[in-house]
Structure 1
């Protein structure tokens, strides 16, 4: 995209006839004009491709949204979008990470019990498979929508 923009920039400057002048100020103004038009067109296309909504919250509502967003380690806009799309089922990525760590710790402790011969190998491996299955099912349920 960057290379395409540069080629288009030079085409624009050539069209304006400023490339063959030695007036660097004139060239800079033409570049500024190009990038201004480029950004305007980009924003216009972005608005056509996406839909935005504006909401107004009173002080108490805004405070509630901010506090809830902090619980899920998200910005207020991420939280509002996530709850709207997830049906209020946003998962906290930090809590999910801690849960994953606990399951890994449990898995590793089972492996240590097997290695120390505290737990019979066949039973230990079965329990480790169960932990892996629990992890797989749990994170399939808790997989957060991308905020």
Structure 2
């Protein structure tokens, strides 16, 4: 698997982000969906990576700089046909290493609190993320789980 910065212009990325948004909207009420669309991911404070195996996009993830010490994990997604192959582990490892390289002291994220998000929460727990209060512009929401990791 090769993980590389992506400019969000390819059809594979558009398709995976559409799958991501569809999944978020399927399992969360609209007011609790914090996933970004393609335009939202093109902001200067966000870096987006695609994970590729040959010519197939197998997953993605992004970092959003909140300040010079703190970043947020965004748009973590494994393509549905590549689940349980270690894609998410590889992407999250890459994002954590990049956050450390950039000098961030903390990495945080928001994910769903419902049962369908349990695999994601377990992944983050396995990487040392701990539950926390809402951060940045988030507000307390029973449909959201907030997690953070000291780097």
Please report the TM-score for the alignment, with normalisation by the length of structure 2: 0.19
Q: Report which of the two structures shows the higher radius of gyration computed on alpha carbons.
A: 1
Relative contact order higher in (CA < 8 Å, ≥ 6 apart): 2
Please report the TM-score for the alignment, with normalisation by the length of structure 1: 0.20
